[in-house]
Structure formats: C-alpha cells, structure tokens
Copies of this chain bind each other. A is one copy, B any other.
Amino acid sequence: MNGADALIETLIDNDVTACFANPGTSEMQFVSALDRQPRMRPVLCLFEGVVTGAADGYGRVAGKPACTLLHLGPGYGNGVANLHNARRAFTPIVNVIGDHATYHRQYDAPLNSDIKALASVNSVWVKSAESPDEVAALAAEAVGASFGPPGGSASLILPADCAWLPVTTTSRPKAQRNGKRAVAGETIESIARKIRSAKKPVIFVGQGAGATEAGVSAAGRLAAAGVRPLAETFQGRIGRGAGRFLPDRMMYFAEQAVEDLAGVDLMVLVESPPPAAFFAYPGRPSLLAPEGGCETLTLAEREEDGAAAMDALADALGAPASGPLQELARPEARTGALTPSSAGAGIGRHLPEGAIVCDDAVTASQPILNNTRGCPPHDWLALTGGAIGLGIPMAVGAAVAGAGRKVVSLNGDGAAMYTPQALWTLAREALDVTVVIFANRNYRVLNIELTRTGAGNPGPAASKLLSLDDPAIDWVSLAKGQGVPAVRCDTADSFDAAFARAMAEPGPKLIEAALP
C-alpha cells in the first residue's frame, strides 16, 4: 500500500469514480494503482485540454468531481484553458498533478516548473503532498474544497516519491462539505419591497442558481410575479425544454444588452457581481445595467443559496407556484441551404428527451438555441469562460457522467480545431456522442468583432488571420482517422436526415455541417 493507493482509495471513498488522464513518468505509480482499484474508471485523453474539458463536462452533469491526472507543470499548462472555463462554471474538479520526487525538485530537472503558481490562477485550492502519509488527508480536503461553495478546481500536487513510498496510515478521511448559507429573511423582505415599488425590475441569475432546477423554477415564479429573470449569457448548465421555465439570456453584445435593459430601474443579483460586457469596445459601456436610474441590489452572494432565496422572494411577492412553462413544440422540416438556422431546425426536430447539449458553436449557437426551446427536457452546457475548444472534450465527460443519455456536441470549426484529438477518446470509450461541426471556414465572430472594435475592414494580413480556408479542413477525414464515423452535409434536408440517424443509433458520430 503506497501513497498512490491511499490517494485512489480516498477518492473512491469520497465518490470520485472517474479519472480523465494523460499520464507521464511521474504518474506511473498512480496508473499502476488504478489496476488495484476497479471502481475508478480511467479514461485516456491524448491531450490535457481534453482531460480538463472532460472533467468540466463530467462535473457539470454529475454534480460531483472527477479527478484528472496531469503530468507536471506543462501537463497542467495544457489543461489551463478548459480549467478556466470550469472556473467560470464553478465546476467541482480534483486535479492530481504529478511532480518530481520531493528531493529531486531542487535540481531543476528539465520538466521542473512552478506548478503552484500556474495552478493558483484557476484553482480554489492548491496544495502539494510532502510525504506519502499526507496524501489521503489532502485528497479528502481537495474533494471538499472542490464543492466550494461555489465550487471549482482543487489541485493536488503529487510528488513521485509521495506516490511510490509506502504509507503507514490506513485512515481514508471523508471530505468536509460546506453547504450554501441561507440568505437572511430581512434581505428577502427588503428586496421584495424594492421590487414592489420598481417600474421595471429584473433579476439576474448567476451560474450557481441558474444551474439548478430549483433556481430556474423559482425564476419562473418571479417572472409570473412581474420580475423579469435574465440568465447568464453562457450558463454552465441549464435545464430547458418542454415543461420548464426558460429565462431569457443576457445579450452577448453590449449594445444589444443595453437596449434590452433600457428602462430597467432595479436589478437584483443572484450569485453574481453586476453583469459586465464580455469585451470592452471603444465608446461603449462596460457594465450592462442602465447608467443612472437603475438600483442594483444583491439577493444572494456566491456562497449563498440563491435558488432558495429566489423561491422565498417569490413567496414574499405572492407569486404563483409555477411560472410560465414552455410547451412541447418542435420546428418544421426545412429544405434548401444549410445554415445555422436550418441546421438548428434539424436538431430541434430530433433532439431526444434527456439529451445533454455541449455548446461551443460560437456564431452558430443562437439559431440552435432558438430551435430547441420546445424540445423535450434536456440540459444545455455552454462555454462559460470564452476559451474555445471545450465542445468535444466537454462531451467526453458529459457522456461518461450521463451514463446512457445522448450527448450532442456543437462546435464551430475554429473552436473544434483546438482539441480535435478529443474525437479519439469518443471512439476509444464508444461514447454516445454526436459531434456537429459548423464549418464556415472562418473565425466568423472575429470578422464581426473586427468592425465592432473599430479596427475597420480586414486587409490581406487580417483576412489571412481570420480565415480557415486555404486549405479547407476535411472534418470527415479527421474523424475517420480517429475511428469516428462521419458524414458531410451541405443541405438542410441531408443534415436533418443525418442528425435523425445519429439520434437513433448509439455511439460516436460526427456530422460536418458545411455552411455556405
């Protein structure tokens, strides 16, 4: 029984049962210990950005952490971008980062670097074991820390000797979980009074509350009581579809958000700071609430139970037991050109009940959201941190956590090229994931942003940096080369048929939606 065994036993005893891994030499003891612990499911990913994106998807769906296995600073570094996304979704994750043996670090061997400094940026907790007997206690502490509230990555650095040396303790401690604090009754009463005297109140529902059924349901009650709920533009997870209340999203572009919020005189915040524009633009405001004349109040901090507070607020306002619920309605069949909108219709016509949608579709996303509002109940997982390249990795983890639920991964072609090796893990694990690539051969959003930032029209150099043409990427080849069956569609009809087939058959599939 060595430190690696103690680590994995403690993780399993704390219900951490999936490990997304890209190991190296310093993690060999952990890998070997997995052979002695069949209750931990190891999933090999061929790049650490896939590892961490999968852990994010898993945590969002399972509501508990998976562990990652990463190889020193560079391995962690490769996972930084998707851990940034996970940080913005408050996803519980336990990172196990292998390091040089404690006594070897002083010699600054080639793979040595300051792992703590790297990991601190996107972690809620970072500690290194210094002896094998510390490992079990630290593992339990990491699991507890990952739940927050509000939750995030806990990064446990595991020097190789702490893994290979024998342990003398047999204790496998339980993680301490801190619940969310209740919001004081006076706060709720006071905000209810403000709402009653407001002309146009909105309630902005942040990531934590927006991810729960209770939060969305309470938001619906508030809508029925005359308070307009607005969800995050990019909500880590939201249950939507028929029979559920569907809040509007905060608009992405600042000027649209400002227009949408015109006349609002009260903004109530739930588990969020005041909403800000995704980017700043010359001459446009950073904060989205109207300047002057709009009071901003906080109903619940991130560590507080915003869903329960919204429900209590709805009671205080005399709201009905339920808000307006979405009716079951699927789009009509479309023919002709394949566009994000007609592809969205195909998706909306066939998305099955219980599906999990992993959305990294960038400019193609909104038309698909519009076309799936009335689908049977499903979950939607968005790109929370703006670091593209999450769509396929997140689907890996969502499928492992979803155990039988159909997963649909929506991706811009530019985004999907960040982590194309995630396709291999779909094939290896035979995951029930349909990957759609919206191939417009462009960083289309940047062509829009180039104008909006006042940078003008693209000349030859700028065009070269915004276009993915020359050569065009053949997604069918990239998928088949990694064992994923694939098809290309360039009409609404053929896309509809391909998507319907993919929904009817289990296993990984890729559809290249070749846009004009």
- List the interface of chain A (C-beta within 8 A of B): 21, 23-26, 28-29, 31-32, 34-38, 40, 42, 44, 46-47, 49, 73-75, 77-78, 80-81, 84-85, 87-88, 100-101, 103-104, 107-111, 113-114, 117-118, 120-122, 160-161, 164, 234, 273-274, 276-280, 282, 286-287, 384-387, 389, 414, 417-418, 420-421, 424, 427-428, 445-446, 449-450, 453-456, 458-462, 464-466, 468, 470-478, 480-483
Chain B residues, Cβ within 8 Å of A280: 100-101, 103-104, 160-161
List 6 tightest A-B contacts by C-beta distance, closest first.
Answer: A471-B483, A77-B80, A477-B481, A35-B459, A107-B276, A74-B387
Complex Cα distance A277/B104, Å? 9
Complex Cα distance A79/B417, Å? 15
Contact assessment for A31 and B455 in the assembled complex, using a CB-CB cutoff below 8 Å: yes
Contact assessment for A84 and B88 in the assembled complex, using a CB-CB cutoff below 8 Å: no
Contact assessment for B385 and A111 in the assembled complex, using a CB-CB cutoff below 8 Å: yes
Q: Among the interface residues A35, A421, A474, which one has the most CB atoms of the partner chain B within 10 A?
A: A35
Contact assessment for B28 and A450 in the assembled complex, using a CB-CB cutoff below 8 Å: yes
Q: How many copies does the complex hold?
A: 2
Complex Cα distance A383/B30, Å? 25
Contact assessment for B478 and A473 in the assembled complex, using a CB-CB cutoff below 8 Å: no
Chain B residues, Cβ within 8 Å of A23: 446, 465-466
Given contacts A34-B462, A78-B389, list 16 more A-B pairs with CB under 8 A: A28-B449, A28-B455, A34-B461, A37-B461, A42-B461, A42-B464, A46-B417, A46-B418, A74-B386, A77-B77, A101-B280, A103-B286, A104-B276, A110-B278, A474-B480, A481-B481
Contact assessment for B46 and A468 in the assembled complex, using a CB-CB cutoff below 8 Å: yes
Distance between A414 CB and nearest chain B CB, rounded to angstroms = 7
Distance between A458 CB and nearest chain B CB, rounded to angstroms = 7
Contact assessment for A417 and B47 in the assembled complex, using a CB-CB cutoff below 8 Å: yes
CB within 8 Å for A100 and B471 given contacts A25-B446, A31-B450? no
Closest to A417 in B: B46
Contact assessment for A279 and B109 in the assembled complex, using a CB-CB cutoff below 8 Å: yes
Chain B residues, Cβ within 8 Å of A44: 464-465
Complex Cα distance A24/B455, Å? 13
Closest to A108 in B: B273
Complex Cα distance A237/B471, Å? 31
Complex Cα distance A108/B302, Å? 14
Complex Cα distance A277/B456, Å? 54
Complex Cα distance A220/B104, Å? 32
Distance between A89 CB and nearest chain B CB, rounded to angstroms = 10
Closest to A288 in B: B107
Complex Cα distance A458/B41, Å? 16
Q: Among the interface residues A40, A78, A446, which one has the most CB atoms of the partner chain B within 10 A?
A: A78
Complex Cα distance A203/B190, Å? 77
Contact assessment for B80 and A110 in the assembled complex, using a CB-CB cutoff below 8 Å: no
Complex Cα distance A28/B281, Å? 11
Complex Cα distance A269/B286, Å? 55
Q: Which of B78, B87, B103, B420 contacts A81 (CB 8 A)?
A: B78
Complex Cα distance A29/B461, Å? 12
Distance between A428 CB and nearest chain B CB, rounded to angstroms = 6
Complex Cα distance A104/B458, Å? 25
Closest to A472 in B: B483
Chain B residues, Cβ within 8 Å of A474: 480-482
Distance between A321 CB and nearest chain B CB, rounded to angstroms = 34
Chain B residues, Cβ within 8 Å of A80: 73-74, 77-78, 80, 118
Complex Cα distance A387/B21, Å? 16
Q: Which of B34, B42, B276, B482 contacts A109 (CB 8 A)?
A: B276
Closest to A49 in B: B78
Complex Cα distance A100/B278, Å? 9
Distance between A115 CB and nearest chain B CB, rounded to angstroms = 9
Closest to A85 in B: B74
Chain B residues, Cβ within 8 Å of A287: 107
Chain B residues, Cβ within 8 Å of A118: 80, 118, 121
Chain B residues, Cβ within 8 Å of A104: 276-277, 279-280, 286
Closest to A448 in B: B25
Contact assessment for B84 and A113 in the assembled complex, using a CB-CB cutoff below 8 Å: yes
Complex Cα distance A117/B456, Å? 33
Q: Which of B37, B122, B164, B464 contacts A113 (CB 8 A)?
A: B122
Chain B residues, Cβ within 8 Å of A25: 279, 445-446, 449, 453
Distance between A120 CB and nearest chain B CB, rounded to angstroms = 6
30 contacts between A and B (CB under 8 A): A21-B465, A23-B446, A23-B465, A23-B466, A24-B446, A25-B446, A31-B466, A32-B459, A34-B461, A38-B461, A42-B465, A44-B464, A73-B84, A74-B386, A77-B81, A78-B80, A80-B80, A80-B118, A104-B280, A107-B274, A107-B277, A107-B287, A111-B278, A114-B120, A117-B120, A161-B282, A428-B471, A477-B478, A477-B481, A478-B481
